[in-house]
Structure 1
Amino acid sequence: MEPAQNVLTGPLPRLTVIGTGYLGATHAICMAVLGYEVLGVDVDPDKIARLAAGDVPFFEPGLPEKLREALDYGRLRFTTDFDEAAAFGDVHFICVGTPQLAGSHAADLRYVESAFTELAKRIDRRALLVGKSTVPIGTAARLTTIVQEVSPAGTDLELAWNPEFLREGFAVEDTLRPDRLVFGVASDYAERALRDAFAPIIAEGTPVVVADTATAELVKVAANSFLATKISYINAMAEVCEATGADVNLLAKALSFDDRIGARFLKPGLGFGGGCLPKDIRAFRHRAEELGVGAAVRFLDEVDQINLRRRARTVDLVRELAGGSLLGVRVAALGAAFKPNSDDVRDAPALDVARMLYLEGALVSVYDPEANDNAHRLYPDLEYADTLGKCVRGAEVTVLLTEWEQFRRADPTLLGEIVAEKKIVDGRHALDATAYRRAGWEYRALGRPVVAETFDLGTHEKDSVAA
C-alpha cells in the first residue's frame, strides 16, 4: 500500500498514539507510513529513545523496515510529554496494556485509566480519544464520564472504541490491510473522525462495522473466546484419541472438509498462550459474572483448563520417552515463544513446559531463534543455547514446543547424529513424522497413537503414519 494522499475534503487529522508497546508502536509506525503525521507517546524514556533512533524494542517481522521508512518520511516522532501530545493531536489512540490483575482474573485497568485521564486533563479543544486496548464491557461509558469531567474541553472531548485484531508475526499486514474495522461510537462526529483517521485503509475496500461502544468492546473478547474454544475443542478430541487409539490429525482433517467448521485453528497440539487469549478469556468470564450472566460463558473455564492440561500431558510424553523419570535426563526444548515469528513469552506454553521439565529434575536446554533473552529474564535457571545444534547435542529426549520454520526444516538424519538418543515429542504436530521414524527416531505427539496404519482421506492410498 502506497503512502496516502489526502483523500479527504480537508487536511488529514494528526494522530497521537499513547503507549508504544507492541500494539501502539505498530499502529504509530503504520499510520505514519500511510501518510499521517503521528506522535508516539510513552512514559518510558528508554523505549522512546530506541524508537526515535529506529530500533524496534521487540521482534516483529517487517516492522523495523517500516519504522525506518516512517522516520525517513519525517511524519513520525516520539515523546514522553503529554502536554505536547494534547496540543498536537486531533485523534488520540490509547494503546496501553490491560494485563491480568494480580490475584484475580479481572483486567488491570490502571494503565488505561491513567492514559485517558492524563491526556484529557490537557486537552482544551474538540478532539477524539480512541481506545484500542482490550477492556471489559462498560469501560468506554465509564471513561467518557471521567474524561469529560477532567478535560477543559468538557463534552467537546469525545470517546470511541476501535478494537485491534493484530496477530503477532503478521502485525504490519494486519494493520495496513485489516479484514475489518470496528468503530464503537456515540456520535456522528466520532464516526467521521475515525473514518478520516483510517481513510486510506477504508479506500482499499476494508469493511467497516459501526457500532455502539459496548459492542465494540465485546468484539475483541468474543473473537478471542471463539478462537480459544476452537483450539481447545480439537485438543479435547486429542484427549479422547489418546484414550481410544484414534488419530487426532486425521480427525481434524476429516472435520476440516465441513465448510461449517473449516480448517483454521483446528490444529491439535500444545495449545494457545501469549499476552491476549489466556488473560482475555479469564477477564471476560470475570466481567460476565459481575454482570450476572456468568453462566453464559462458564464453558470458557473448561476451555482454559483443556488448554493447560495439554502442557502437563506434553511433560507426560517426555517422561514416558525418558523411561518413567526425568531426574538427570538431558532434554532439548525447541522453542520458548508462545508462537513462531515472535519473541513474546507471556503465558507461553513452550516455556511453561520447559520449566515443568526442569522442576522434575530434567537438565533442560532451551533454544528459540528470537525469544531466548526474554525467556532467560523470566526463567534464568534454565540453560539456554544459542543454536539449534548446541541445544540438541547430547539430548536424551528432544521436544518441539514452538513451530519455528527452522525446526520444521531441520534434517532428522543430521539431528540424529548429535543427540544422545533419537527420541522426540512433537508438541505442535509440525514435524514430518514419517521422515523422523525412517531416520530411526522414536516419535510421539499429543493425540496420536504410537504407530497407526491409516488410509489417506483424499486418495484412499494406504500410508504408514508415525505417531
Structure 2
Amino acid sequence: MRISVIGCGYLGAVHAACMAHLGHEVVGIDVDEQKVSELSSARAPFYEPGLSELLEQVLNTGRLSFTSNVASASGSDVHFICVGTPQKKGENAADMTYVDAAVAKLLPYISEGDVVVGKSTVPVGTAARLAGLIKEIQPLAHLVWNPEFLREGHAVSDTLNPDRFVYGVEDGSEDHPAVAVLDEVYAAPLSSGTPRLVTDPPTAELVKTAANSFLATKISFINAMAEVCEAAGADVTSLADAIGMDDRIGRKFLNAGIGFGGGCLPKDIRAFMARAGELGADQALTFLREVDAINMRRRTRVIELTRALCDDSLLGKRIAVLGAAFKPESDDVRDSPALSIAAQLQLQGAIVTVTDPKALKNAAKRFPELHYEPDPVNAISKSDALLLLTEWQEYRDLDPYALSPIVAAARILDGRNVLNAEKWRAAGWTYKGLGRP
C-alpha cells in the first residue's frame, strides 16, 4: 500500500522503516530538515538497536523516502500521525500542538476513501475532535485510532511483531471500511497470529494511557515496598519473587530501583489525571498522584543513601554515575532518574562524573554543568562511591575485583538491584541495594 507517516521522531521513524520492510511504499514527512537528511542517509537521529540497519536495507529497495514537503502525502492510501504529545510547560496536560498542526497540514491532501491513523498518545476525546475536522474537508475519509505499544530498545521488533493491535473506529464495528484497510497494512503480523481488537475511538485512546498507568502503578508499588523493607530489614527482591509467583500479579515490572522515567510513563500518567479532571472523573485517578510522588521520592532516597554511603557527607566526594539514559539500550534522557540524581548530587557538593554507552551527547544538552566520561573505567577511577543507575549489560558485567585497585573507596550503590551483592562484598566492597538488607 501507499503510506505516509507524518512525524519522523522516535515513533514515526521506526514506524516508517518497519512499514517499508513489510512491503509498503512509504514516505516519511517531518518539518525538521536535518532529521529528514539524516534519515534519508540511513542515519537514525537517535539510538535504537537495529534501526540504522533497517533504514539502510529498506532505503535501498526504493520503498522508503523522507521529505519535509507534506504535499508528498498526496496519493497515499493511509496516513499515520506519529508526532509527539509532550507535557505542557507548567501543567500536567498533554500539549496537542504537534498533533493539531500535523492534521491541519495534512487536510488538503486527504482524498476520498483515505484512512488517517492516529498513533500518538493523546487525551481521550481527541479522535472525535479530529474526525470532525477531517469530515468537513473530506466526508468520505476515515479516522482510526491505532495506539502504539513500543518499548524503547525493542521498538523495531515491537512494530514488526507486536503483542496486539487495537483499532478504534467510528462505529466500533468489524464492518467499518477502515478495518479492512488496516488489516491489509498489518497483513504480515496478523498472519503470524498477532491478535487484534476493534473498538470505538475513546476506548482505543484510553488503551495506551491505561496500560502505562498500570505499569507505573506496579513499579511504584514495589518501590513503596522497598521503603518498607528497608525499615523492616526485609529483602524486596525476595518479596517480589514471592508475590510474582501469584499468576494474578506476575513478576514483570516488580523490580525495585530508582523509579521510572523517559518520555512516556511520567507525562502519560500526568496527562491522564489532567484529562480525567476535565471530564469530571478526577476522583477515579487520585491514586496516580501517589504513584507519581513515590516515583519522584526514589530519587531523593538515592541521594540520602549515597550521603550515608559516603560517611554522611557529599561535599567534595568523587561520585561515578553509571548510566544517564532512563533505561538501557536507549539514548533517551527525558525525565531520566539517573541524570536527575547526578545533577542533585553535584548541587549538594559532590564531584560527579557520568558515563553511558549511548546517551552522553543528549545528557550534555540537558545538564551541561555535569562532567561526562565515555570510558567507564576512567569515570570510576579514584571515585569515593560508584552508583549504578542505568542497568546496561556492560555495567552488570563489571568485575569488582578488577575495580578495587582503581577506586579511592570501594563503595557501590546498586540503584537497579541487578548486581550480585555477595560477589561485590567478597571483593571488599561496601554494597548497598535498594530495599535489600
**What TM-score do the two structures reach when normalised by structure 2?**
0.98
State the distance in 2 between where 1:304 and 1:292 align: 21
Counterpart AA for 1:180? R
Q: How far did 1:141 drift?
A: 0.1
CA RMSD of aligned residues (A): 0.9
Q: How far did 1:227 drift?
A: 0.3
Contact 1:120 1:148 survives alignment (8 Å): no
Where does residue 240 of structure 1 map in the other structure?
228
Gaps of 5+ in 2: none
> 1:88 aligns to what SS in structure 2?
coil
2:410 to 412, 417, 422: 422
Contact 2:112 2:139 survives alignment (8 Å): no
Counterpart AA for 2:405? E
Where does residue 457 of structure 1 map in the other structure?
none
Per-residue CA deviations over 1:361-381 (Å, capped at 9, x if unaligned) read 100000000000000011010
Contact 2:88 2:95 survives alignment (8 Å): yes
Q: How far did 1:201 drift?
A: 1.4
State the distance in 2 between where 1:159 and 1:447 align: 47
Counterpart AA for 1:254? A
Residue 155 (1) aligns with residue 143 (2): no
Where does residue 155 of structure 2 map in the other structure?
171
> 1:108 aligns to what SS in structure 2?
coil
Residue 227 (1) aligns with residue 211 (2): no
Where does residue 113 of structure 2 map in the other structure?
126
Q: How far did 1:146 drift?
A: 1.6
Where does residue 113 of structure 1 map in the other structure?
100
Where does residue 363 of structure 2 map in the other structure?
375
Q: How far did 1:262 drift?
A: 1.0
> 2:152 aligns to what SS in structure 1?
coil
State the distance in 1 between where 2:123 and 2:146 align: 14
Where does residue 252 of structure 1 map in the other structure?
240
Per-residue CA deviations over 1:394-426 (Å, capped at 9, x if unaligned) read 100110100000000010111111111000100
Counterpart AA for 2:428? G
Where does residue 320 of structure 2 map in the other structure?
332
State the distance in 2 between where 1:144 and 1:253 align: 46
Instruction: Give the 5 Å matches for 1:24-423.
Output: 24-85=12-73, 87-149=74-136, 151=137, 154-186=138-170, 188-423=176-411
Q: How far did 1:76 drift?
A: 0.3
Q: How far did 1:121 drift?
A: 2.4
State the distance in 1 between where 2:254 and 2:54 align: 32
Q: Kindly, what percent of the aligned residue pairs are identical? A: 56
Per-residue CA deviations over 1:21-68 (Å, capped at 9, x if unaligned) read 110000000110110000000000110011001111110111111111
Gaps of 5+ in 1: 1-12, 450-467
Q: How far did 1:117 drift?
A: 1.3
Q: How far did 1:126 drift?
A: 2.6
The number of residue pairs the alignment matches comes to 433
> 1:283 aligns to what SS in structure 2?
helix
2:432 to 432, 441, 444: 444
Counterpart AA for 1:417? P
Q: How far did 1:345 drift?
A: 0.2
Per-residue CA deviations over 1:266-287 (Å, capped at 9, x if unaligned) read 1111111100000000000000
State the distance in 1 between where 2:141 and 2:383 align: 61
State the distance in 2 between where 1:440 and 1:42 align: 53
> 2:251 aligns to what SS in structure 1?
coil
Q: How far did 1:148 drift?
A: 2.3
Q: How far did 1:123 drift?
A: 2.3
> 1:121 aligns to what SS in structure 2?
helix
Contact 1:424 1:443 survives alignment (8 Å): yes
Counterpart AA for 2:199? A
State the distance in 2 between where 1:212 and 1:300 align: 25
State the distance in 2 between where 1:135 and 1:415 align: 47
State the distance in 1 between where 2:161 and 2:181 align: 19
Contact 1:180 1:208 survives alignment (8 Å): yes
State the distance in 2 between where 1:364 and 1:121 align: 52
Where does residue 9 of structure 1 map in the other structure?
none
Q: How far did 1:243 drift?
A: 1.2
Q: How far did 1:124 drift?
A: 3.8
> 2:402 aligns to what SS in structure 1?
helix
Contact 2:400 2:424 survives alignment (8 Å): yes
Q: How far did 1:244 drift?
A: 1.1
Counterpart AA for 1:50? E
